[in-house]
Amino acid sequence: MYTSETFVRVRYGETDQMGYVYYGNYAMYYEVGRVESLRQLGLTYKELEDMGVMMPVLENKSKFHQAALYDDHLKIVTTIREKPGVRIAFYYTIFNDNGTLIHEGETHLAFVDKKTGRPCRPPNVFMDVLKPYF
């Protein structure tokens, strides 16, 4: 299992007239969680794309326990629970400034060869950085 933390500050444009973060904007927070969790391993998603691999989303799930508010400094805890194969799943828990768990989510992505458009194994470098955790 690999877990990492990152933070996002809620932007005004991410709220809606209910005064909450619009429910569609959590997907962007998940993306930040995924990308920064890889960066903390020394790998960037940008590099993966440059290697010819892209990672489209297959499935996404969200549970909204409490609203995130404007200017909240949210902690995103991102976890990879299972060793990745042709698919990978990221799990997120999001906490507000009070340390309250306000949100849970998960995203399942595929590894796809950009040239062929077909599913592929994760690049070796990807498996190498994750090896210590599985």
Q: Which residues bind a copy of itself (CB under 8 A)?
A: 9, 11-13, 15-20, 22-28, 31-32, 35, 44-46, 49, 54, 56-64, 67, 70-71, 107
Of 42 and 56, which has the nearer Cβ to a copy of itself?
56
Burial 30-67 (b: 16+ CB within 10 A, else e): bebbbbbbbeebebebeebeeeebbbeeeeeebeeeee
Of 27 and 51, which has the nearer Cβ to a copy of itself?
27
The least CB distance from residue 115 to a copy of itself, in Å, is 14
The least CB distance from residue 24 to a copy of itself, in Å, is 3
Of 1 and 86, which has the nearer Cβ to a copy of itself?
86
Sequence-distant (6+) residues with CB within 8 A of 22 are 14, 15, 16
d(CA 67, CA 128): 37
The least CB distance from residue 118 to a copy of itself, in Å, is 14
**Counting runs of H as helices and runs of E as strands, what totals does the chain give?**
3, 7
The least CB distance from residue 79 to a copy of itself, in Å, is 19
Asked if 105 contacts 61 with a C-beta cutoff of 8 angstroms, the reply is: yes
d(CA 64, CA 29): 13
Of 4 and 62, which has the nearer Cβ to a copy of itself?
62
Of 12 and 132, which has the nearer Cβ to a copy of itself?
12
The least CB distance from residue 106 to a copy of itself, in Å, is 10
